[in-house]
Amino acid sequence: MAPRAFDERVSIDQNRRLVTSLPGPRSQELHARKNAAVSSGVGVGLPAYIEKAGGGILVDVDGNHLIDFGSGIAVTTVGNAAPAVVANVQEQVADLTHTCFMVTPYEEYVAVAEALAELTPGDHEKRSALFNSGAEAVENAIKIARTYTGRDAVVAFDHAYHGRTNLTMALTAKSMPYKHGFGPFSPEVYRAPMAYPLRWPTGADRCGDEAFQAFVDMVHTQVGETNCAAVIIEPIQGEGGFIVPPQGWLSRIADFCREHGIVLIADEIQTGFCRTGDWFACDHEGVVPDLITTAKGIAGGLPLAAVTGRAEIMDSVHSGGLGGTYGGNPVACAAALGAIATMKETDACARAKQIEALFVPRLEALRSKYDVVADVRGRGAMLAIELTAGAGDLTPNPKATAAINAYCHSQGLVTLTAGTFGNVFRFLPPLSSPDHLLTEGLDIIDEAFASVLG
């Protein structure tokens, strides 16, 4: 059977349309209420309040149709309010909203665990445990690795992002805004250099080998291999700026972990579920992690996260050691089953590759035209450009990045920035977005560059 098209059955008109300037008057009213009622610690990128979304469009309360290049940070991969997600959720929520899986279980949780065993890298026996958020999945992956190995230390990388809870703040690299003022942080977290080709001191060609050697030396001298419970790694870094390590680096880390009995945790919370053109980014190099954390794209927008891994590791935890009141909520699980079915039926991995093919020539054209564009990178529908001072000067250019981002917002294109230095402009469109919206969004980005850099 041929894959069905993504955008069928989406009722929202798939055209950008601005009927007010952004944010419009109703959004401004809501934003005043937000500022009076919601902590200022919860920031907002573009204060256009959304009331409907689908395909590649977000509709705000003033009736503006915005183009979505963010997917709510890589969550609505199958589209917002995707038909199969809505249908499963509606049926499930009318039948059963909650029992707590640890009290009296239900089938949907088991079905999600079965799907994870089928889809995640490797054909070994697997088990899963479900949680509410990515950070919670990461914390549990570390707990599991520590129990299994009887060791304490965990190694993470420069530019890593693993969440905002105490242990995951410790794993996250960037201080402002994620960690600033929130310490002290969880101990026994060590940091290795990231293989960041653009910024490797001796150049991109030597980055893979030297970064791997620096990692090995760090583990040996600062941690001790036999004290190391886990190495946690994003196969393509997300919030850190869509950093793609050189081919082979990840598999060398995996080999090192295997050799020393260290649990390799792939944090695929942002890269997972077809985003990069494979079911998981590890598949690209055939790397099989011991544990994998997933969330974001897994459930089409409902909160769900998972740790999946080798049965002997996952089953090393004492009964009752893993869980939580809401983890694997039946409505979120039903949504995940709908999202996964949609990914299979639409061949979402192929769609992500089409999006890459559509974007990359346009982003490369920007690199040719503007010397502030120092890098075009990413994979599938997870793509970014990094902006610097230009003319070979790699000084980060967060100012131009913010100005270009703001221009896009003013034109009704919802874009995101990222990166340790705030100088990465990143693209995470829903795979359900029709091509004409992607092209129009790229046209707006061209205008934004012309307007800001003239």
Ligand X SMILES: *Cc1c(COP(=O)(O)O)cnc(C)c1O
Q: How far is the CB of 414 from ligand X (least distance, A)?
A: 17
Q: How far is the CB of 264 from ligand X (least distance, A)?
A: 15
Nearer to ligand X among residue 64 and residue 132 (C-beta): 132
Q: How far is the CB of 136 from ligand X (least distance, A)?
A: 7
Q: How far is the CB of 293 from ligand X (least distance, A)?
A: 7
Nearer to ligand X among residue 295 and residue 385 (C-beta): 295
Q: Are 156 and 190 in contact (CB under 8 A)?
A: yes
Backbone angles phi, psi at 404, to 5 degrees: -65, -40
Cβ contacts of 219 within 8 Å, gap of 6 or more = 155, 190, 192, 225, 228, 256, 260
Q: Count the alpha carbons within 13 Å of 398 in the hemisphere toward its beta carbon.
A: 6
Cβ contacts of 381 within 8 Å, gap of 6 or more = 77, 275, 276, 277, 351, 352, 355, 356, 427, 428, 429, 431
Residue labelled with tokens 């080798």 = 310
In the bound state, the residue with its beta carbon closest to ligand X is 134
Q: How far is the CB of 340 from ligand X (least distance, A)?
A: 18
Nearer to ligand X among residue 81 and residue 138 (C-beta): 138
Nearer to ligand X among residue 336 and residue 444 (C-beta): 336
Nearer to ligand X among residue 127 and residue 162 (C-beta): 162
Q: Binding residues for ligand X, how many (CB under 6 A)?
A: 15
Q: Give the orientation angle of helix 83-95 with respect to helix 330-346, to 10 degrees.
A: 160
Candidate ranges 19-27, 199-207, 234-242, 424-432; the one touching ligand X (CB under 6 A): 234-242
Q: How far is the CB of 159 from ligand X (least distance, A)?
A: 11
Residue labelled with tokens 């958020």 = 133
Nearer to ligand X among residue 239 and residue 283 (C-beta): 239
In the region spanning residues 95 to 154, those forming contacts with ligand X, defined by CB under 6 A, are 133-135, 138
In the region spanning residues 246 to 305, those forming contacts with ligand X, defined by CB under 6 A, are 267, 269-270, 295-296
Q: Are 414 and 438 in contact (CB under 8 A)?
A: no
Q: Are 409 and 55 in contact (CB under 8 A)?
A: no
Nearer to ligand X among residue 328 and residue 412 (C-beta): 328
Give exposure, 41-79, as e/b (b: 16+ Cβ within 10 Å): eeeeebbbbbeebbbbbbbbbbebbbbbbbbbbbbbbbb
Q: How far is the CB of 232 from ligand X (least distance, A)?
A: 9
**Separation CA 412–CA 429 (nearest Å):** 14
DSSP, residue by residue, 326-363: STT-HHHHHHHHHHHHHHHHHTHHHHHHHHHHHHHHHH
Nearer to ligand X among residue 141 and residue 373 (C-beta): 141
The β-bridge relationship of strands 65-68 and 416-418 is: unpaired
Q: Does 55 bind ligand X (CB under 6 A)?
A: no
In the region spanning residues 149 to 208, those forming contacts with ligand X, defined by CB under 6 A, are 161-163
Backbone angles phi, psi at 124, to 5 degrees: -75, 170
**3-class SS of residue 135:** helix
In the region spanning residues 416 to 435, those forming contacts with ligand X, defined by CB under 6 A, are none
Binding mask of the shown chain, residues 299 to 338, with x at each position contacting ligand X by CB under 6 A? ----------------------------------------
Q: Does 238 bind ligand X (CB under 6 A)?
A: yes
Nearer to ligand X among residue 149 and residue 270 (C-beta): 270
Q: How far is the CB of 46 from ligand X (least distance, A)?
A: 19
**Separation CA 454–CA 449 (nearest Å):** 7
Q: How far is the CB of 383 from ligand X (least distance, A)?
A: 15
Residues that bind ligand X (CB under 6 A): 133-135, 138, 161-163, 234, 238-239, 267, 269-270, 295-296
